[in-house]
Structure 1
Amino acid sequence: MVKVEQLDVLVVGAGFSGLHFLQKLRKLNFNVKICEATSGIGGTWYIHRYPGARVDSDFPFYQFTQDDIWKGFQWTERFPGQQELEQYFEHVDRKLNLKKDIMFNTRVTSAQFCSSTNQWLVKTNNSEEITVRAKFIMLCVGFADRKYTPKFKGVDEFKGIVLHTSVWPKSDIDVVGKRVAVIGTGASGVQTIQEIAPKVDHLTVYQRTPNLALPMQQSSLLDQTNWKFPTPDQFQEIFDSTRSTFSGLDFNFIPLNGSGATHEQREAYFEECFRRGGFYFWIGNYQDIFTNAEVNDAAYQFWCKKTRSRINDPVKKEILAPTIAPHPFGTKRPSLEQRYYEVYNQSNVDIINVRKSPIIEVTEKGIKTEVEGEIEFDVIIFATGYDAQTGAILNVEIKNEFNESIEDKWRNGVLTNFGLSIASFPNIFFTYGPQAPTALSNGPACIEIQADWIIELLVKMRQDHKTKIVATEEAEAKWKEIVNGIWEKTLFPLADSWYQGANIPGKRRETLNFAGGIPMYISFLKDCSSDNYKGFEMS
C-alpha cells in the first residue's frame, strides 16, 4: 500500500536551509517534513568529502545563529573542515531531534501544482512507497548541487580512476605514490591540490584561469597565534553583526575610497588585510575596490607581488600569478589557501595552462594536450565546479498549474521576486539561489534572513486563511532591473565567472547575484512585508 504524506510544508534538502525551516516551522505547529536525497544531514558538508574540503567563513558565522543551538559544541579550527562540520550537524540533531521528520534517501524528482486544491503533488524516487502532497514547497537544494564535467573526448576509455570532487567516496581514494591529474583550480581544486601534493608520486594540474587565492591564516583551538577564538559571551554580538555587514560576516568594507589614498597608505592597509586572513582582503577592503578599476588593479598588483614571492619557478609564477590581471580582483570568488602556492615548488608538481595548451582528449593511459602531448596517470580528478545557482533548482522537474516548467520559464533568462519565488509558480519558495546575495554572502546568514522572512509570510497566510501565494510578473521585472542595475555599476561583469553562468558552455550569461549586500537586501524584504507583501498575490 502506498503511504500518503499530507503536509503543510515539504522541505527539499537537509542542509542549513532545510534544517532551519524544519526546526522553526515545527515550533509554529506546521506539519513539515524534509525529503533528503542522501542518508545524512548537512547538505554540502555531508556530500563533499574530497581531500581538504573546508569552509571559507570563520566558524562563529558558519553555524545557526538563533536560539542556543551553538551551546555545547566546541569548534577546533577557525575554518573548520568537512569532518568537523559533519560533527556539528550531528550536534544540531541531538539538540533538536530533527532526523525523525526527515525522509532520507528520498530524492524529489518532480512536482506538479494542482489549482483545485492549491497543493503540490510531489514524486520521489520512492514514489511506489510514498506519495507526498504539500501546500507549500521549500526548495533548499543549495547553489552547487549539479556538478559540471567537461565533455572531453575519451573520458570513458581511461583505464585508471576518474572522478569529480563532488562525488568523492566516503571510503576515500588512495593517491599515495600515484600519478595524479587535477583538472580545475577553483575552490575544490585548490583544497585538493594542497592536500594530496605531498602524498602523490607526481601531480599535474590543468588550469584554465588562475585562482586569486588568499591566505587563510588558519587558527586552531591549541594555536591561536593568527586569530583569537571568541568567548561564549561574545557570540550573541557576533551573531547580531551578521545582519549589518555587506557579507554577513563581522567585518565590512572600510568607509574610505582607495582612490583617495596614497600608494603607501594602500600598501599598509593591504598588508593588514593579508595579516588578518580570510576574506578581509576581498570584502574588508576599500569601499571602491569593486567600482574603481585603478584601485582594484592596485589590490591585484599587491596580491600578485605577495604571491609571486612564494613561487620559485618563473614559468609557474606567470601561470599562477600573471603580471597582468586575468580579470578584476575579487570578481571571481577567491579561495582561501594554507600552502597552495608552495606546492608548486615541489619537484613532483607541474602545472599546465590549458588556455595555451588545450586538452585534446583523455586517452586510455592519461591526458593529451596540444603542447605536452600525452601524460600518463593513475588517477584523474575533475575539480571543474558546478552549474551554480540555477542548476540545482532545475534538477527537479517542477510544473505549475499550466504545465509550464521552471526551465521553460527561465529559457530566456532567470526571473524571480527577491531571489525567493517565481511568478506563475504558486506556493513554492527557494533559498540561497539566483538573484539573491548568495555568492557574495555568508551562507547561514543569507539563509536565515530569507527563511525567516518566508516563515513570517506563511504565518500571516495561516492567520488570514489564505491558501495560495504567487509573485507577480511586474515584481519579477522590477527585481531583475534592480539586480542588474547594481551589478552593472561594478567591475563584476568583466569576469567570466559562475556569478554570471559563464562557466557552463551554452548557459545564458546573466546576472545571478544581488550585489547590494545583506543590509540592503533586508531593507527590500522589510519594505515588501510592511507594504502588505506588495509584489505577491494571495488568495
Structure 2
Amino acid sequence: MTSDPTASPRDLDVLIVGAGFSGIYQLHHLRSRGFSVKVVEAGGDMGGTWYWNCYPGARVDSEHKMYQLSIDEIWKDWSFSCKFPDWKELRQYFYHADKKLGLRRDIRFNTRVIAADFDDKEHRWNVTTHVGETIRPRFLSMCTGFASKPYVPPIKGLETFQGICHHTALWPQEGIDLRDKRIGVVGTGASGVQVFEEAAKVAQHVTIFQRTPNYALPMNQEIFDEEARRKFKEKQAEAFVIRRTHPSGHDIPYVGEKMSEMSLQERQELYEGLWVKGGFHVSKGGFSEVGFNEEANDWVYAFWRDKVRRRIHDPRLKEKLAPQIKPHPFNTKRLPLEQTYYDAFNQPNTTLIDVNETPISEVTPKGIKTGDGEEHEFDIIVLATGFDSITGSLTQIDIKSTEGVPLREKWSSGLKTHLGLMSAGFPNMFFVYGAHGVTAFGNGPTCLEQQSDWIVQCLKDLRGGGTTKIDPTSEAEAAWTQRVNDLCAKGLWTKAKSWWTGANIPGKKVECLSFPGGLPLYTQLCQESAANGYKGFLLSSVAPKLVTIGNIARL
C-alpha cells in the first residue's frame, strides 16, 4: 500500500477512496502538510467519473474555467480547448495534474474497497479491499463522488439480448462503433441526451425511450484560439474567488431580483441574454425565486418550452419533448446541455417512444418489445438509466458503525449527517460531494474544494491538539438533517421525480439529499463549527499505553 515497502499500514494517517477531483485535491494538500496519505481507486486510472464515463458524447456541463482545481501548479500552465471539454480532454487534464504533482506514486489503481469498520480502541479504520487486504488508517476520506453506483432497472429478459448492451457508466474503454447500427437508448437524462446526439449523426437508426421529457438547455459550445485562452488565463485566479461566492459555485452573474420586480420586457430581455450565453446561465442566472415560486417557475418553463418547440417540426414530438403544460417544475432536476438534441428528432433515422403510452415489456434476444406487442430490433442497447446517486456511492460499501450497524441500514429510513461531511457513529470518516452537501445544486470542483479545505484544516487542528477521534453528536446530526429538510420544504424540488431526491430508485426513501441553501451559507455554517472548537462533534484521544520498565510503569 505504501511507497515504502517496509512501512506499516498502521502508520498511515489518511486513506482516501477515489482518485477523481476530490481525491487528488486532498492527496496534494494533505501530503504537502506532512500527513502520510494514500489513495485507492477502483478504476484503472485517475479521473473518477471521467475514467468511467467514456461513452459517445460524454462531456462536462460546467464551463471550463469552473471545472478545474485551483491548485496553482495545475491551472497556471493548462488551458482547455473549448468551453465544455469532453471526456478525452478531461483525462488529459488529470494526466497533466499527475505530471505536475507526482500523484500516482501514492495511488493504487484497480483496488475496490468493499468493507470498513472502526477499531474504537485504537481509533483506526479497518478497510478491506476486494483482494482481502486490510489497511488501517487513522482517518478515512470517502471521495467516491455522487454517481459511482450505476442503476440498471430490472427489465425482464435483459440478459438474453444477443447484441451489445452497456450502461453509459460502464462503457468499454476501447469504445463501440455506432456507425450504421440500429441503436436503442433507454433514458433521457444527460447521458441519454449525449448518446442520442452522437448516434443520430452516424447510426442507421436510433430510438430513444422516454419516460419524462428533460428540459435540456443550449450548450452553445465554443472552440478557443490562443488569444481566447490567454484572456481566460488572465482572469482565472479571479474566477476561482468568484465561484465560491455564487450559490451554485459558478461564476455566473446572479441577478438576485424577483420576477415580480421586473416588467415583461425586462424579463424577456434578461432570459434572451441568458439563452445566448448558453450552459447553466438560464438555470443559475435568472430570477432568484425560480426554485420556490410557482408563478416565476411557470414563466421560465414557458420561455424554455417556446424556444425548444420552434426547433421541432412534428407537432406530436413538440408535445412529447416540450409539453404545453410542464410535467414538473423547471430546474428541479439536473438540466442537461444539448447541442443538436432537438434538431435530431427532425431526421428520418430517429424515433421517440413514450414509455408511459407504450411501456417496455421485455428485452428479447433481438431487441426491445413494447406493450403494444411490437419488437424493436437493435444491434446496440444503451442503458442511460442513471445512478443510485448521492448515497449509493457509500451504501454500496459495507461500512459499519462503532455499534456494528451498516451505513446503508442507518440511512435506509432517512439520510442523517452533520454538515454533509460526517455521520454519527462513523468517527474519523469524512465524505465529500455527497450526502447533504451542496452537491446536486453546485459545481463539483467548487463544492469539493470547500469541503476538502475544511477536512484538511480539521485534520491539522486535531493533530495539533493530539486528538485521534472526531465523531458528530446525534443531536447535531439531527439538527443539521432538520435544517436541510426545512430548506427543501420551502422549494419545489420534491415535485419532480429525480435522483436529487432518490425518487429514481425503487424503494429508496424520497427526501432532499443535498443542501439547498447555497454554497455561501453552507460554507459559513461549516466554518462556524470549526471556529467554535468543532461544535457538534465529540473529540477524544487514544489513551496512552503504559510501558513497564522493571517495576516502574511509565507512559
TM-score interval, normalised by the smaller of the two chains: over 0.9
1:76 counterpart residue number? 81
* Deviations 1:340-389, CA, capped at 9 Å, x for gaps: 10110110100011111111111121111123621111111100000000
Q: Which residue number in structure 2 is paired with residue 180 of structure 1?
A: 183
What secondary structure sits across from 1:175 in the alignment?
coil
Q: Which residue number in structure 2 is paired with residue 284 of structure 1?
A: 285
Q: Quote the residue 2:95 is aligned against.
A: 90
1:445-499 Cα deviation digits (max 9, x unpaired) = 0000001101101101101001111001111111111111111111112111111
Give the aligned partner of residue 261 of structure 2: 260
| CA–CA separation in structure 1 for the residues paired with 2:289 and 2:501 | 21
How far apart, CA to CA, are the structure 2 residues paired with 1:322 and 1:228?
Answer: 40
| Structure 2 counterpart of 1:461 | 462
Deviation at 1:126, TM superposition (A): 2.6
Does the 8 A contact of 2:161 with 2:364 survive in 1? yes
User: Counterpart of 1:323 in 2: which secondary structure?
Assistant: coil
Opposite residue 251 of structure 1, the aligned amino acid is: I
AA aligned opposite 2:96:
H
Matches within 5 A, 1:297-308: 297-308=298-309
Question: What CA deviation, in whole Å up to 9, does each residue of 1:259-313 have, x standing for no partner?
Answer: 2322222122111110111101001111111111111111111110000100111
Shift of 1:232: 2.0
- The 3 A distance-change label for structure 1 pair 518 and 230 is farther
Q: C-alpha distance in 2, partners of 1:512/1:131?
A: 31
Distance 1:273 1:252 in 2: 10
Among residues 128, 132, 137, which one is paired with 1:134 in the alignment?
137
Partner of 2:544: none
SS of equivalent to 1:156: helix
User: 1:205 — aligned with what?
Assistant: 208
* Residue in 2 that maps onto 1:166: 169
Deviations 1:66-105 (A, max 9, x none): 3332022221010000000000000000000010001111
Q: Cα offset for 1:218?
A: 0.6
Partner residue in 1 for 2:361? 360
Structure 2 residue 379 is matched with structure 1 residue 378: yes
1:31-62 per-position Cα deviation (integer Å, ceiling 9, x unaligned):
10001111100100111100010001111111
User: Within 5 Å, which residues of 2 pair with 1:492-531?
Assistant: 492-531=493-532
Q: Describe the SS at the equivalent of 2:127.
A: strand
**Contact 1:500–1:510 (Cα < 8 Å) also in 2:** yes
Give 1:230 deviation, angstroms.
3.8
1:15 maps onto 2:15 in alignment: no
Q: How far apart, CA to CA, are the structure 2 residues paired with 1:298 and 1:401? A: 51
Alignment-derived partner of residue 217 in structure 2: 214
- Structure 1, 175-184 or 396-405: larger mean CA deviation: 396-405
- In the alignment, which residue of structure 1 is the partner of 2:125? 120
Give the whole-Å Cα distance in 2 for the aligned partners of 1:206 and 1:18.
Answer: 36
Given the alignment, which residue of 92, 102, 105 partners 2:107? 102
Kept in 1, the 8 Å contact 2:184–2:380? The answer is yes
Query: Which is further off, 341-350 or 256-265?
Result: 256-265
Output one character per residue of 1:148-175: Cα deviation in whole Å (capped at 9) or x when no partner.
1111111111111111111111111122
Between the aligned partners of 2:359 and 2:6, the Cα distance in structure 1 is 53
- Matched to 1:218, the amino acid is Q
Deviations 1:6-44 (CA, angstroms, capped at 9, x unpaired): 310000000011101100000111010001111100100
Distance 2:292 2:230 in 1: 34
Letter in 1 for 2:154: K
- Could you tell which deviates more after superposition, 261-270 or 492-501? 261-270
Aligned to 1:63, which of 61, 68, 71?
68
What's the TM-score, normalizing by structure 2?
0.94
- Please state whether the residue corresponding to 1:33 is helix, strand or coil: strand
What is the aligned-residue identity percentage? 45
- 2:46 counterpart of 1:41: yes
Counterpart Cα distance in 1 of 2:412 and 2:202: 46
Q: Taking structure 1 as reference, are residues 349 and 59 closer, same or farther at Cα in structure 2, changes over 3 Å only?
A: same
Name structure 1 gaps, 5 residues minimum: none
Q: Which runs of structure 2 are paired with 1:318-329 in the superposition (5 Å)?
A: 318-329=319-330
Counterpart amino acid of residue 466 in structure 2 = H
| Cα contact 1:78–1:229 (8 A) shared by 2 | no
Q: What is the CA distance between 1:3 and its match in structure 2?
A: 8.6
Give the Cα–Cα distance (whole angstroms) in 1 for the partners of residues 118 and 163 of structure 2: 46
In the TM superposition, what is the alpha-carbon distance from 1:233 to its structure 2 partner?
2.1
Look up the equivalent residue of 2:215 and give its one-letter code: L
- Runs of 4+ deviating beyond 4 Å: 1-4
Q: One-letter code of the match for 1:460?
A: D
1:110 partner SS: strand
Kindly tell me: are residues 2 and 311 of structure 1, through their superposed partners in 2, closer, same or farther at Cα, counting changes over 3 Å?
farther
Q: Distance in 2 between matches of 1:106 and 1:4?
A: 18
Q: Aligned in 2, Cα 1:320/1:229: closer, same or farther, shift over 3 Å?
A: farther
Instruction: Give the whole-Å Cα distance in 2 for the aligned partners of 1:485 and 1:265.
Output: 32
Q: Which amino acid aligns with 2:134?
A: T
| 1:351 alignment partner, SS class | strand
- 1:181 match: secondary structure: strand
Q: Shift of residue 315 of structure 1?
A: 1.0
Equivalent pair of 1:221/1:229 in contact (CA under 8 Å): no
* Structure 1 residues 61 and 323: CA distance shift in structure 2, 3 A: same
Please give the per-residue CA displacement for 1:218-268, whole angstroms capped at 9, x wherever unaligned: 1111499xx987432211111101110111111243121112322222122
Match of 2:332 in 1: 331
Task: Name stretches of at least 5 consecutive residues in structure 2 with no aligned partner.
Answer: 541-555
Aligned-partner Cα distance in 1 for 2:539–2:181 = 60
For 2:252, the aligned partner's letter is F
Question: What CA deviation, in whole Å up to 9, does each residue of 1:192-240 have, x standing for no partner?
Answer: 110111111111110011110000111111499xx98743221111110
Contact 2:118 2:125 in 1 (8 A): yes
- The 1:66–1:177 alpha-carbon spacing in structure 2 relative to 1, beyond 3 Å, is same
* Structure 1 residues 371 and 317: CA distance shift in structure 2, 3 A: farther
- Which secondary structure state, in structure 2, belongs to the residue aligned with residue 410 of structure 1? helix
Q: Find the aligned partners of 1:501 and 1:75 in 2 and give their Cα distance.
A: 34
Q: How far apart, CA to CA, are the structure 2 residues paired with 1:117 and 1:429?
A: 18
**2:130 partner amino acid:** N
Quick one: distance in 1 between partners of 2:87 and 2:251? 23
Report how many residues are paired.
535
Q: Secondary structure at the match of 2:29?
A: helix
Which deviates more, 251-260 or 466-475? Answer: 251-260
Cα distance in 2, alignment partners of residues 3 and 496 from structure 1: 49
Distance 2:356 2:493 in 1: 22
Does the alignment pair 1:396 with 2:400?
no
Q: Tell me which of 4, 9, 15 is aligned to 1:5.
A: 9
**Residues 177-204 of structure 1: per-residue CA shift (max 9 Å, x gap):** 1111000010000111101111111111
CA distance in structure 2 between the aligned counterparts of 1:138 and 1:348, rounded to whole angstroms: 47
CA RMSD of aligned residues (A): 1.6
* TM-aligned CA deviation for residue 513 of structure 1: 1.0
- Over 3 Å counting, the alpha-carbon distance change for 1:516 and 1:229 in structure 2 is farther
Relative to the length of structure 1, the TM-score reads 0.97
SS at 2:478 equivalent: helix
